[in-house]
Every structure is written in structure tokens, then in C-alpha cells.
Amino acid sequence: MAREHPFLLAGEWQRSDRPLEVRSPYNGEVVGVTFVPSEEQVEAAIERAVSGFEQTRRLSSEERARILTRVRDGLAGRREDFIRTIVLEAGKPWKDAAAETDRALHNLEVAAEEAKRIGGEIMPLDLREHSRDRIGLLRRYPIGPIAAITPFNFPLNLPLHKLGPAIAAGNTIVLKPATKTPLTALTLAEVMAEAGMPPGMVSVLPVPASLAEEKLVKDDRFKMLTFTGSAEVGWRLKGIAGKKRVTLELGGNAAVIIDEDADTELAVKRIAQGGYTYAGQSCISVQRVYVHESAYAAVSRGLVAAVQALKVGDPMDPETDVGPMIEEAAAQRSREWVQEAAAEGAKVLTGGEADGPFFQPTLLENVPPLSKVCRGEVFAPVVALFPFGDFKEAVAAVNDSPYGLQAGVFTPSLANAFYAFDELEVGGVIVNDVPTYRTDPMPYGGVKDSGLGREGPRFAIEEMTELRLMVLRT
């Protein structure tokens, strides 16, 4: 019998009369059961977040850091439990789920350290005669109750990118995990409930989308909405969020440039990982690859061989590279997009077929620039190759996109690396690696349709705090 997971409502474990079965994307089996909270339960969570803020905002730096350290230690003690839960409910291969869990531990370590570093500065104001006897003191204060919404693809680490900084800053937070993958977040809630935080500090509720819009997004008692998900949904939520602060970490169609004389062996190896890990279901999964014409043939041959060598199968198998997509409909959509591109002249070098929830790792060339697999976010194990002759033309091609999250540039030229840094319209330029690279302390976020604001503990804390000035007349 599948394990039952109640939800955490401000320190209390609760159920409702609406059970929610969570099924494995791999075989459709029920892997756990939780509950959909009622409107009254969501309201209670909001009320507790508002009242609890009066206590959390007064927590010392040491108390906030200690809470996060205890969460980290609790997660470490249940590491394999978290890995297994991610594999079962998300279909993520075991080795990728293990990597996500280890990243989560590091994420919490960094958040605990940043809780001790939330400072300010002394600002000179004696710049004019009438201010000779004044100095300014700047300090950051927690913003207040936060509403957080996270997607299915990183069911542990993406919630922690919101929970960790919120706790570090002294805010209260109500988290809505994806209803396809809520069990990991609820397991995390078990660890948090044991960490000794004030009871109103964290609630984790698998709220349905319609209720989330009314009670989390529109409600002015929340001072901030932090959302990770699709661009279409994110920008719509921003439009109805009212006066609260909004951070959006949205989609992308990440590109790589392989410059003349670049290390093509390294580039092929990293693209075979960056384009196909977790079946490409990451907003910084490699989708477009622009290759200098002198290296195009070698890169194409190398990538075909590398992609065909990927092991597709049971995500519980530690050797599996590519598991199922989150649902069969996602695999069928990917197939339709690839077929549409092929009908417009693209060539399928390998892959291109769906089998239930699986979509074969796919490599394309001659893709029309306006096709969906080039302009949209494919969110699947699909990579398209494009030759180029001039580096500046490749940069312009990368920028010809509605998205701008991260880009990768393989180049031996420091001048071209800095040109890309100056000219690429993205939130991050990763030199001599794929745009899929992310380490959790770094500022992470995009421009254009890819969102606004930045994550990473230090930078999320800045988003989750208000800067306040005191002018002192001496």
C-alpha cells in the first residue's frame, strides 16, 4: 500500500477529504498519496504566516542559521529516502536524483551561512553643508509572508531555493509544490518540522492551481510571490499579483556556441549531458548548438555517437542516463514538434520517436529558425545543430530568441569570451561549458521571457528583504 503523506500547515500535519494519488511517470503505479487542502485550510495557513511573521522577523541570525543547519542535517540523514522519492514520483534517473539531493545539502549550507551575513552599510551623507552632521545607516529587514510556487522537475532543490532564503531572512513562507511531484516537498516538510522553527514559519500545501491563484497569488497579505515554472503561466501570474514583489524564474531555450579551435571533445561530452539529462526537462537544458563551420562535421559525428550511447530506461537503474518524461503527453508533444520541424526541412540525425512516456534522445540539423524546436522551449531531450562562419553572427543567432536564461560558449579566445559576455542577452554566460551548469550559490535568473529577479541564497535574500535607511544626526 502506498504511503500516506499529510501536508504541513504551520507546524501541524493535516489531511482533507480530497486524496491526491501520485503516480510514477515510468510505470503509472501509485507511489504515494497526499491530500488537496481545502480553501479553509489554505486560509488558515495564510493567517498563521501573517501572525507568525511577528515572531520570525525577530529571530537572531544565529537562530535562523541554526534552523537551516538542522534541516540540512535532517536531510543528510535521510539522503537515500529523498533520492528514492524523487526517482519514484518524478521519473528522474537515480544518479540525477542523487546529484539533486547533494545539491540540496549544499544549498542549505550556503543559506545557513548567508543568514549570518545579512548586513547593511554606513553611508556618508555629509556631501553638502546642511548634512555635515548626518550619517546614513542601511539595513535589510525581512519583507513578510511569502507565497512560493515550484514545478515538477527539481522537486527538492527548487523548493529549497525558496524555503532556504526565506528562513535565512526571517520571513514566513507558504509553499505550493507541483501536484505531480509533491511527495519530495512533503518529505522535506517532515525534516523541517523537526528542525525547531516557529510553527507559523513554513507551510507546504499541494494547492490546486485555481485555488493557488486566488489565495496565494492575488492575496495582498503576501508581500512577495516567488514562482518557478513556464513563461506563459509566470507572466500571467505577475499580472494578477497586485502590489506584491514578484520573482519569476521561467523557461528558456538555452544555446551553446562552439567557436573555431574550441575543445570539441569537451563540448560534445558536455552537450551529451547538458542536452539530455532528465530527458531535457530543465529550463537550461541545451536546445540549440551553433558550431563553427570548421568543426561542424566533427561535432555532428561526435554528438550522434554520444547521443546514441545514452542508456534509456528504468530510472531506478543507477546506469540509466535518460528516463521517462513526466507524462506521456509530454513525449507525444515532443514527437509532434520534431515531426513538424522535419516536415519543414529539418534532418533527424538520431532519435525522434516516442514510446509511451519515453522520448528518444534526439539530434537535429537544418532546423528552420522559426520552428517550435528552435523558437519555443522544447523541454525534452532534443538538440538542434547550426553551422556558422562568424562568431558575431552566432551571438546574434543566440539572441534571436524570446528567452534569455543562460548560454554556453566554448572558445579559446578571451576576446570572444568577453564579447559574448557583453553581447549575449542572457542572465548568465558559461564559458567552456554548457548553459546547464549551475552551482547553487551563484545568481541565477534570466531576461526577456525567462523571468526577472535572481535566485541563489544570497541573491534571493536580497529579493526577500527590504532595504531600510536610518539617518542619524550626530
Query: What is the DSSP annotation of 290-334?
Result: EEETTTHHHHHHHHHHHHHTS-BS-TTSTT-SB---SSHHHHHHH
Q: What is the pTM of this model?
A: 0.96
The reported pLDDT for the residue numbered 114 is: 98
Active-site hit among 114, 249, 365, 377: 249
Known catalytic membership, residue 100? no
Known catalytic membership, residue 249? yes
Q: Judging by DSSP bridges, how do beta strands 347-350 and 288-292 pair with one another? A: unpaired
Domain locations along the chain? 7-250+450-473, 255-440
The reported pLDDT for the residue numbered 234 is: 97
The reported pLDDT for the residue numbered 1 is: 67
DSSP string, 152-192: SSSTTHHHHHHHHHHHHHT--EEEE--TTS-HHHHHHHHHH
The reported pLDDT for the residue numbered 150 is: 98
Q: Judging by DSSP bridges, how do beta strands 255-258 and 202-204 pair with one another? A: unpaired
Active-site hit among 213, 283, 365, 455: 283
Instruction: Give the whole-angstrom CA distance, residue 402 versus residue 411.
Output: 25
User: pLDDT (tens digit, 0 to 9) for every residue of the chain, 474 residues total?
Assistant: 689 999 999 999 999 999 999 999 999 999 999 999 999 999 999 999 999 999 999 999 999 999 999 999 999 999 999 999 999 999 999 999 999 999 999 999 999 999 999 999 999 999 999 999 999 999 999 999 999 999 999 999 999 999 999 999 999 999 999 999 999 999 999 999 999 999 999 999 999 999 999 999 999 999 999 999 999 999 999 999 999 999 999 999 999 999 999 999 999 999 999 999 999 999 999 999 999 999 999 999 999 999 999 999 999 999 999 999 999 999 999 999 999 999 999 999 999 999 999 999 999 999 999 999 999 999 999 999 999 999 999 999 999 999 999 999 999 999 999 999 999 999 999 999 999 999 999 999 999 999 999 999 999 999 999 999 999 998
How many CA within 13 A on the CB side of residue 325? 27
List, in sequence order, every residue forming a beta bridge with 431; answer none if it has no partner: 409
Q: What is the phi-psi region of residue 388: left when phi exceeds 0, alpha when psi lies from -120 to 50, beta otherwise?
A: beta
List, in sequence order, every residue forming a beta bridge with 166; answer none if it has no partner: none
Per CATH, the number for 7-250+450-473 is 3.40.605.10
* CA angle, 158 then 403 then 259, to 5°: 100
Fold of domain 255-440: Aldehyde Dehydrogenase; Chain A, domain 2 (3.40.309)
